[in-house]
Structure 1
């Protein structure tokens, strides 16, 4: 049962990496879009593409925390004691990012729009970095039960390179998805705009991955050995194939499958980490079995997970499907004003 819950946790992390990562990537390109006039069209597309699903994507992070503290309370305590600072900074970034995105569009003054836009964009860069840094600290074996908080746990070579890889992967996902969204909105210029940025982000991932090879070998040896053999290696190879397939499709301007291949590359990378780290949740000191909560708690958690998949899963699939088909459009200011006028007249 503990192994089942552990793999559920890995799957949910992968879902957040693909869903929330896309939103972080959109925020990254929002930051680099330029001034108010130059960045007007890219930011318009980002607002319209993210609005229908961005809150749903953040639900995956809630699932991660609930599964951690319910299924693996010892791990949860150890991670949050050792990593409270980067995780707190990531949490602040999440709040500022959501507030900036929600408040930017209805703001009338240019100064306010710039302020909220800056909060959204900068937090979209900071938050994934600190989440990746925390993950790197765990993978490098710097977190154990009883580890006190220190910069050593998350400001180390593996944490830094993981944080940068998370940013690059998010930028890659965001640009790929925005290519498809630009086609949906009939914005041919923005298709080429984000196509170029997706290819640049993929190149950055390749460079960072090459740098990560010796870093992981020296600094996170257990995970390195898991990634270079067995199922971990297989998942890495499949992730690389999906990433290369996405780049090739972008070069050929064939966008039909790019959403799926890019998301698969990220999800498979998370899966590779899961296989590389087993049977530990904290390499090499805390196994899945030792970190697991009470047996009856795990049984109820597994039951709730199955119920959630049956009841919520189809609704999420339908939501994402409707979004990719362009059936979900956010209300415009004109819509809300018209609604308010109707209520007043009534």
Structure 2
């Protein structure tokens, strides 16, 4: 039962990396869109693309935490004791990001929109970095039961590279999704705009991954061995194939499958990390069996998880489907031309 719940946790992390990561990537490109005039059209597209789903995507993060503290309380305590600072910074980023995104659109004054937009964009950069740094510290074996909080737990080479890979991966996902959204809204100039950014982000992912190879070999040996053999290696190869397929589709300007191939590349990478850590929750000090809660707790957690999937899963699928089809909040002609609003120059 503990093994099954552990894999549910990995799947939830993969879902958040893909769903929430797409939103973080949109925020990253919002940060780099330029000044108010030059970045107006790109930000209009980002706002309309994110608006229907950005809150729903955080359901996966809540699901991850619930599984951790209910099913694996020993791991939860160890991680939050050793990593409280990056996790607190990620939480602050989540709050500021949500507030910035929610408040900047209805705000009329340009100066206030800039403040809210900056909070949204910068938090979209910091939050995935700190979450990635936490995962990197765990993979590197920097966290064990009783480990006290220190910078070494999350500021080590593996953590930093994992954080940077998280940023690059979310930027890749965000650009691919925005490219498809721009095409759906007939904003042809934005299609090429985000297409080039998707290709650039994938190049950054490849460079960071190559840099991470020798670092992981020396700093996270157990995970390295899991990623270079068995199911972990197979999933990494499949992830690379899906990433290259996405690039090929973008180069050929064939956007029908790019969402699926880009999501698959990230999800398969998370799955490979799950296989690489086996049989540990905290390499190499705490196994899945040792971290698991009481038997009856795990049994009830499994039942509740199945019920949640049955009740919430179809609703999320329908939400994503309607959003993909543009049924929730279609852009108007004024929106695609980035029309001004009263008070823009105040």
Structure-to-structure mapping, 1:1-346, within 5 angstroms? 1-329=1-329
1:330 Cα offset (Å): 7.3
1:147 Cα offset (Å): 0.1
RMSD: 1.1
Report if aligned partners of 2:185, 2:331 keep a CA contact under 8 Å in 1.
Answer: no
1:312 Cα offset (Å): 1.2
User: What SS class does the counterpart of residue 192 from structure 2 fall into?
Assistant: helix
Residue deviations 1:253-298 (CA, integer Å, cap 9, x gap):
0000000000000000000000000110000000000000010010
For this pair of structures, how many residues does the alignment match?
A: 333
Report if aligned partners of 1:90, 1:128 keep a CA contact under 8 Å in 2.
Answer: yes
Distance 2:311 2:66 in 1: 18
1:341 is matched with none
Structure 1 length normalisation: TM-score?
A: 0.95
Q: For the structure 1 residues 74 and 106, does the alpha-carbon distance in structure 2 shift closer, same or farther, using more than 3 Å as the test?
A: same
Report if aligned partners of 2:100, 2:117 keep a CA contact under 8 Å in 1.
Answer: yes
User: What SS class does the counterpart of residue 318 from structure 1 fall into?
Assistant: helix
Residue deviations 1:112-143 (CA, integer Å, cap 9, x gap):
00000000000000000000000000000000
Which structure 2 segments of 5+ residues have no match?
335-346
Distance 2:321 2:116 in 1: 30
User: What SS class does the counterpart of residue 281 from structure 1 fall into?
Assistant: strand
Residue deviations 1:19-70 (CA, integer Å, cap 9, x gap):
0000000000000000000000000000000000000001100000000000
Distance 1:182 1:331 in 2: 10
1:184 Cα offset (Å): 1.1
Distance 2:98 2:296 in 1: 36
User: What SS class does the counterpart of residue 254 from structure 1 fall into?
Assistant: coil
Distance 2:181 2:58 in 1: 20
User: What SS class does the counterpart of residue 36 from structure 1 fall into?
Assistant: coil
1:71 Cα offset (Å): 0.2
Distance 2:5 2:182 in 1: 38
Residue deviations 1:85-109 (CA, integer Å, cap 9, x gap):
0000000000000000000000010
1:344 is matched with none
Which structure 1 segments of 5+ residues have no match?
335-346
Distance 2:313 2:330 in 1: 23
Distance 1:319 1:278 in 2: 34
